[in-house]
Structures are given as structure tokens and as C-alpha cells.
Structure 1
Amino acid sequence: MQLIITDAWLAKSRAIHLSGMKLLVSLCAVSVVLVFASATLYHWVFLKGAREGWPIIGTLVRLVVKDEVAQQDRFMRENIEVMAKRLGEMQAKMIQLESLGERVSGLAGVNPAEIMIKPGQGGRLVIGRDLSMEELQATLNELDQLANQRTDVMTVIESRLFEQKIKKMMVPTQVPVRAANLGSIFGWRIDPITGRSALHTGLDFPAEPGTDIFSAAGGVVVTQEYHTQYGNMVEIDHGNDLITRYAHASKVFVKKGDLIKRGQKVAEVGNTGRSTGPHLHFEVLVQGIPQDPQKFLDAGRTLAGAQALKN
């Protein structure tokens, strides 16, 4: 393709030769320029007409804006409905949790009023209601506050239950020698050595030498020594001025200051000290005064039976 450009003033002519590739590139460049110019002109005219309120353009703008607002409103309403449904489900679960908390607090001996919680206060019910954004936000705030209160209640309940568990673990209710017959019981008896009436301050469990002796509860070893009367002896402090004593052992496996778990092996049955045969002499002392160990062991059996019935 050949283009001839003539200048009338200078009386000159100029010829431009365009091959197929150059022609294609030139057409593309011209098309891009025209599209850009058209878009710029359309944008300028549209904005000017929208600002000045030209009849056709103003109507078109209002229709577009109205459609966008409707779409946004519909989108927001759908999201609010979904959030309200989820909020209703959360609130129903919160009410169930509140009811469970009240029952558990009764088991733990906790009164919700002690920590400024009003029982049965679940907030407004939102299931099946159309909520505005303000109502939705207010309900969320109420649920957040209620969740914090429930957390406080559960924390106190956990602390009380843990405290109760520790107390139970520290009370000597476990039989210290398994599969052993009970010998002499707590109380007055004829002393087998002197033949005189004397107070027997514990329980005797006759058993073969080497039979395992277990701690009746958790605690701390406060005495581990050889005593002329009790032979190899271990004393465990369980707190609250309560101590258990294990006497006449052949071997001892703990020392003073050791932390002892409930049911832990502490010694083996023997015949040391003032004894007429291999057995464990088991005592429970409260503020240094001997108590009948059988009452503690019976309480442990009663508690175990009650738990078995619940299960």
C-alpha cells in the first residue's frame, strides 16, 4: 500500500509505503487510540450529565444506583438472617450450658449468687425473629457477657471440685494391706505380751512377711525410723492434723520428706518391734489422738459403692 502526502504551500509531495505487517500495526494503533478517546469522551459526558442532571443520563444513573442499593440491601439482609440463625443456635447452646452449670454447681457446693451470677438468665431469644443490625449487635454483646460469666462459674466449680478431690485423696480410706484378714481391732483388749488390759490404738492386719503395705491416702512422710515398740515404722501426714502410722514393717521403701500418692507401696509386712507375729499395725491419729481406723475404711467402702451405683 502506498500513501502520497502533498503540501500545497511548499509544493512538495511525500510518499509512504506500507507493507502488510506495517498496515496491520497501524490499524491496531489507530483502533486503540479511538477506543481510548471514545471511553474518555463517554466518561466525561456521563459524569457531566450525572452531575448536572441531564434527563436521560440522570434517569439511567438513578436506575443503576437503585439497583445497586437493592442488591446491597438484599445481600446484607441475607447475611443478617444467616447470622441471626447462628446466633439463635449459639444462644440455645448457651442456655443448655447454663442449665448444666447450675446442676454441676450444686454437686460442687457452689451457689451462683456467690459470684454475682443470676441463674436462668439467658438473654433475649432471637430464633425466628427478624433482627436489625443494632439488635443483632446488642444480642451478641449480651451473649459475650453471659459467656464470660459462665466461664467464671466454671472456673470456680473446677476449683471446688479439685479441692474436694484433693481432700478425698488425703483422707485415709484405702485398706493398707490387700487380701488380708483383720486381726485385733481398735479398743481395749488383753495385751498378748503382758496379759493386762490395754488400749489397742489401731488395726492389725496379719499377713505373710513381705506382703505389700500401701498408703491409705496421699501425703508427706514425716517419720521413717525404727521404734522400740513399733519396729520399722512410717508415718504419713495427710494435712488437717491427720496422720497415719504403719508399724512392724520388715522393709521400708520411703524416707522422710517423700511425697506419697494414694495406694503407693511404702513398706512390706514384717515382725519387727514389739510384735508376736508378722502383721501390719495401722493407726490413724487426728491432732495426735488415736482414732478408730475402721471408721475411715468403712467410709471409703461406702463411697466406692455409691460411685459404682452411679456408673
Structure 2
Amino acid sequence: MALKKVVIKSCETRAQRLARQFQGFAADRPMVVLGAVLGLGMLIGVGASTATGMVTNSALQAKVAQQQTELAQAQRASQAQVNALAARLGELQAQATRLNALGERLTQMGKLKDGEFDFDEPVGVGGGDEPVNDMPVQSLKQDLGQLEQQFSASGQQLNVLASLMFDHQLEQNSVPSRMPIRNTYITSGFGGRADPFDGGSAFHKGVDFHANVGDPVMSVADGVVSYAGVRGGYGNVVEVDHGNGYVTRYAHNSRLVVRVGDLVRAGQQVAKAGSSGRSTGAHVHFEVWADGRVVNPRKFLGDTNTPVGRRGRG
């Protein structure tokens, strides 16, 4: 305990001695002391300013990083919107392609002029409106949606029209409306005539056309072959059912080129001309039946001015 007091006393004495020396030094050199004090103050100020600057710089860096993150998010959102609009635009282009194909088919079916249903050709627009700012994305989406609805409605209407025109075309194609053989003339008409074998009175159920053996015999309308074979005095005969109650018969052929059940188109060959059956020479005997009754074929022939030659044949 006594030693502790001695040490404390010694430290106090040394401190007092240093204080007296500093006071004397300050009295002899006051400017030096003032400079030292000011320098110490400046050092303290610079340290505080540096610390404050470091805090401010960190805050700016954090704010810039946040803005960069927000900008990246906005860019990703904008790109997503662009991709979505591009996809919808692709769908509209595909719809326009389908509508153009359908329009081309309608043009061919309806014998319209080319380009009547061209959905790629821009329509004329204009007006006195003043220019406006860029269209907002939401407004553009709404316009695209309305355009999609218009395309869809137009497509449905064209499909209905195509169906009606196709049905009408089928109905027209199923009605006899052309010659069963080319470059010919009528050798015997429909109705009463003298029998070419015995000279007696007879009723001729069809029309006879001049032909050479082997000339192509053609269907006068679309239909299905309902009979192909030998039938009594008709010889080698082909019958075609066209629907709607119409059946046509082609007789006295030398050879048949179709079978029962075959689908034939108007103008398609069904036989080769000849003189089989009850016949006096090569020709084509042509009949038209409507709802089970034989009718005069002349009104169904494509060329109503076909000349009438000498009567007979069979």
C-alpha cells in the first residue's frame, strides 16, 4: 500500500513538471502552440468530412444500384409485352393467310375477278386528324383484340359462303349439262320414230349421237356409277346416278372403262363407243331419267344447237 502511494505521488510530480514545462514553452513560443492546436483541429475536421463523404457515396451507390435493378425489370416487362404483341401479330398473319386461301377458292368457285378477297392488300384510309403521340400499349392490345374478332367473324362468314357455293356447285355439276361425246351430231332424236329394224312405230327413249368405234364416251355430270354391264338390247351400258333424282344411261358401247361404285366427274370417260346390242352401226345412245321417268335429253345438253342428221341407228 505504501508502494502504491509512492508510485502515484511520483506520477503526479512528473505531470506537474511537464505542465510547467509546456506553460513555459507556450509562453516563449505562442505561435508554435497555436499552429499545433489549429493543425490538430484541421485533422479532426478532415477525418469527420471524410467519414461523412464515405457515407454519402455509399448511399448514392445504393440508389444507382436500385435504379439499375428497376430499369432492368422495366426492360424485361417491355420485352415481354413486345413478344406477346409479336405472337398475336403472327396469329393475325396466319388468319389472313387462311382467309386469302379461302377467298381464292371462292373467287374460283364464283368466277370472280382476281383479288376480290385479298386480305393482304391495305385498304384506303385517311382524314384530317392531327398527329398524336405514340399509341399506348394497352390501346394497341385493345385494337389487336378487335381486329382478331373481325378476322374471326369474317372467316366464319366466308366459310358459310363457301359451303353454300360448294353445295350450289355440286348441285349444278350433278345436273346433266354437256354432250356425252365430242364433235358429233344427233342421228336420232327423242320420241316417236320408225323402228330401224322392222319399220314399225316405236318410242325412242333417248338421243343417238354419231360416233366411231372407240371414241371416248363421257359422263355429262358428276355422279356415281350405278350400273356397268350388258343389258338386253342396250348392249354394253353404263348408268350414272347424279343424285337429286337424275340418272343418265350410255348404251351400245364397245368397251366399258368404269365399274359400279366409281365416282366420276363431268367430262370423265366412262366407255368407248361401239355398236353392241340392238344397233345398226356405231353410235352413242344417251338417255336421261329424272325421278324414275325418262325425259328428253335435249334440254340438258350443253350445246342445244347440235345438228340433227339422218335418223336410225338404234
Tell me the TM-score normalised to structure 2 length.
0.55
Q: Percent identity?
A: 37
Offset of residue 46 of structure 1 = 4.7
1:189 matched residue in structure 2: 193
Offset of residue 263 of structure 1 = 1.8
Residue 240 in structure 1 maps to residue 244 in structure 2: yes
Gaps of 5+ in 2: 1-50, 111-126, 306-314
SS in structure 2 at match of 1:183? strand
Cα separation, 2, equivalents of 1:252 and 1:238: 18
* Candidates 140, 154, 170, aligned match of 2:158: 154
Offset of residue 235 of structure 1 = 0.4
SS in structure 2 at match of 1:298? coil
2:301 matched residue in structure 1: 297
1:265 matched residue in structure 2: 269
SS in structure 1 at match of 2:199? coil
SS in structure 2 at match of 1:263? coil
* Candidates 189, 194, 207, aligned match of 2:211: 207
SS in structure 1 at match of 2:192? strand
1:136 matched residue in structure 2: 140
2:16 matched residue in structure 1: none
Gaps of 5+ in 1: 1-40, 51-56, 109-124, 302-311
* Candidates 171, 176, 179, aligned match of 1:175: 179
Q: For 1:19-30, what aligned pairs fall within 5 Å after superposition?
A: none
Instruction: Flag the 1:42–1:171 CA change in 2: closer, same or farther, 3 A.
Output: farther
RMSD, aligned α-carbons:
4.3
Larger Rg: 2
Task: Check whether the contact 1:210–1:250 (CA below 8 A) recurs between aligned residues.
Answer: yes
SS in structure 2 at match of 1:164? helix
| Stretch moving more, 164-173 or 177-186 | 164-173
1:251 matched residue in structure 2: 255
Residue 164 in structure 1 maps to residue 165 in structure 2: no
Residue 45 in structure 1 maps to residue 49 in structure 2: no
Higher relative contact order, chain-length normalized (CA < 8 Å, sep 6+) = 2
Cα separation, 2, equivalents of 1:216 and 1:263: 6
Task: Check whether the contact 2:179–2:302 (CA below 8 A) recurs between aligned residues.
Answer: no
Offset of residue 213 of structure 1 = 0.9
Residue 276 in structure 1 maps to residue 280 in structure 2: yes
Residue-pair matches, total: 216
| Stretch moving more, 281-290 or 292-301 | 292-301
Offset of residue 262 of structure 1 = 2.3
SS in structure 1 at match of 2:302? helix
Offset of residue 45 of structure 1 = 3.3
Q: For 1:51-70, what aligned pairs fall within 5 Å after superposition?
A: none
Offset of residue 244 of structure 1 = 0.6
Residue 223 in structure 1 maps to residue 227 in structure 2: yes
Tell me the TM-score normalised to structure 1 length.
0.56
Instruction: Flag the 1:300–1:160 CA change in 2: closer, same or farther, 3 A.
Output: farther
Instruction: Flag the 1:218–1:43 CA change in 2: closer, same or farther, 3 A.
Output: farther
Cα separation, 2, equivalents of 1:134 and 1:206: 75
Cα separation, 2, equivalents of 1:46 and 1:300: 103
Cα separation, 1, equivalents of 2:53 and 2:252: 105
Offset of residue 144 of structure 1 = 1.1
Which residue type is aligned with residue 45 of structure 1?
V
Offset of residue 205 of structure 1 = 0.5
